[in-house]
Amino acid sequence: MRRPARDMRGSPREQHLRVNERIYAPQVRVVDSKGEQLGIMPPQDALALARQQGLDLIEVAPNADPPVCRIMDYGQYRYQQRKREREAGRKQRTRELKMITLSPTIGPHDLGVKARKLREFLEEGRKVRLMVRFLARQMRHTELGKQVLLQLAGMCQDVGNIEGTPSLEGRNMVVVIAPKPSGGRPKPEGEALGSTPPPSSTLQNNA
């Protein structure tokens, strides 16, 4: 019995796939559903073999000489391709470094807004660079900037881990927060990222 026509809609890669009767190369190298080589033959013969097994013939390497076709279920192939694309997209997002800037005199409300943004980035699997910018007089109290960074990191310690320690880069103090691997256990209270007390008002009084 002839199988119904396949729905070729999907990602741009899927739309350019040649499947079954759409394969027009005069000769193709055929791999069966178990990964075994069946040799080189006309695509019509390869399609007949696929039909006998109730499967499809998919051109998986069109630029090879001759093109390589695999006998397998097209629906399963689409599922595997989309899974790989999602994984590749996730890894790409992980490599992107987001930035959040703060003032050493930031107030509780604004710090909460920054914490929500930090949590959003971390839950998307992205690393985040936190940066405190100091004005000229504020450079005398860089320890308060460090406290701000650690406090913000501590507010999201359930979804992120601090990498290294806050460090000065010119008039900026920076630290990177990485998303926590899924299933990671929270750190003991003594090791929490936010164990440093909130910044005092010393800087505001002396700025």
Q: In a 3-state reduction of DSSP, which class is residue 12?
A: helix
Answer for the pair 173, 134: CB distance below 8 angstroms, yes or no: yes
What confidence category does residue 16 fall into, taking pLDDT thresholds of 50, 70 and 90?
confident
Q: What is the pLDDT of residues 151-202, one digit of tens each?
A: 999 999 999 999 989 999 999 999 999 998 864 444 444 334 444 444 444 4
Counted domains in the chain: 2
Rounded CA separation 78/160 (Å): 34
In a domain, 179, yes or no: yes
Phi, psi (degrees; rounded to nearest 5) at 40: -105, 135
Check pLDDT > 80 for residue 11.
no
Same domain, 150 and 128: yes
Same domain, 104 and 186: yes
Give the range of the structural domain holding residue 35, as residue numbers without chain letter: 12-89
Rounded CA separation 54/3 (Å): 8
Final residue belonging to a domain, choices 89, 112, 138: 89
Give the Å distances, CA to CA, from 69 to 13, 21, 84. 16, 12, 19
Same domain, 72 and 124: no
Residues 129-155: what's their mean pLDDT?
93
DSSP 126-154: -EEEEEEEP-TGGGGGHHHHHHHHHHHHH
Q: What is the pLDDT of residue 200?
A: 46
